[in-house]
Amino acid sequence: MKSAAFVNGPMLLDSGYVTDHALLVTDGRIGAVVRDDDASLRDAEIVDLGGQLLLPGFVDVQVNGGGGVLFNDVPSMEGVRTIAHAHARFGTTGFLPTLISDDLAVVATAIAAVDESIAAGVPGVLGIHIEGPYLNERRKGVHNAEHFLELDRDAVALLCSLRRGVTLLTLAPELARPEALDQLAAAGVILSAGHTNSTASEIETARRHGLRGYTHLFNAMSQLTAREPGAVGAALGEDESYCGLIVDGRHVDPRTLKIALRARRRDRFMLVTDAMPPVGTSARSFQLQGRTISVADGYCVDEQGTLAGTALDMSMAVRNAIAMLELPPADAVRMASEHPARFLGLGASHGRLAPGCRADLLMADHGYNILATWIGGRRLDF
């Protein structure tokens, strides 16, 4: 198969942005990065970037919906495909369809839909994120507590049933038996603390039993106080787990996020959208389990003003991280690509412009607006 050579634009490599180089893609993977006068380019199909940026595709571990579809309402391959397409135009080349707390029958259907989607090759689907129903009612946010359950043996079996791809589970660790956490972690389920009222000690215990992340840090979790660090303090006090950040200016004050970024290693932070159905549409409202959710300025609220996800896309999250958090652009892009890929255990194949990685590529202008998206070397049409 003839190689494609991406030329004539700065590209973000592990070392930073480089110019005067070309990226070679063969059979859906990155084959090499060479000087733009290398002899190997003579036989390649040239993709001229026209001076625009070449970035690794974004990886979003928390996508509730898009394209007018809420995954809870349409837990099918068709629903997954619609969500994937809506987000890919904004640079998301890998994502986890995210199911918020619901009946276990819906959880089972959603797992089957993701498995079918991966088997059918729906572009960008990496697995599933199950956010609840094993959450703490005191930190429920917009989740319906009527769905909340105990993490019992049958639940563990269901949560371990995805045959293809990654399973991420958000739970309140203080409500889970350590043995259940051990079983989930041993089966490869990635455990993340969210909608939790845990003490710092309870978080530390959960970490010894497989906890690896924090879902939308600061939101819907016990806060840092003088005598009890809570889940937030536990997160900021250690460097290994990954923290998801919603950067929309509303979920968390940007000044608070800047403090978090100074408190621990930056390569353990990742941008998430927590996106809802309006992404990719002009809709100003949608239904969430019988409630009307309104959309304003990129965030979503119910009738009581409770935050209910966002209308963020990943390119907007990157731009916000640059503007609101004053991050170097390369760092913001890595928080949307390399860092979440590593969190999912996919760092060797996703999230970087490096030989051997999947050719999930973005062409962006210098304001980080997405101009073109490739998944597995194939350019998508929008």
Q: Tell me the catalytic residues.
A: 274
**What contacts 24+ positions apart, CB below 8 Å, involve 34-43?**
36/7, 36/8, 40/3, 40/5, 41/5, 41/7, 43/2, 43/3
| Residue 190 to residue 121: CA distance in whole angstroms | 23
- For the chain, helix, strand, coil in percent to 5 are 30, 30, 40
Question: Can you list the alpha helix ranges (DSSP code H) found in the chain?
Answer: 77-88, 104-120, 153-159, 178-186, 200-208, 230-236, 254-263, 314-324, 329-336, 338-343
Instruction: State the virtual CA torsion across 245, 248, 250, 254 in degrees, nearest 10.
Output: 70
DSSP string, 184-209: HHHTTPEEEE-SB---HHHHHHHHHT
- Biggest CA–CA distance in the chain, Å, is 66
Show the tokens assigned to 83.
């969500």
Report the b/e string of 282-305 with b at 16+ CB within 10 A.
eeeebebbeeebebeebbbbeeee
If you ran DSSP here, which 8-state letter would residue 354 be given? S
Nearest to 45, CA basis, from 13, 6, 73: 6
Helices (H) and strands (E) in the chain, counts: 10, 24
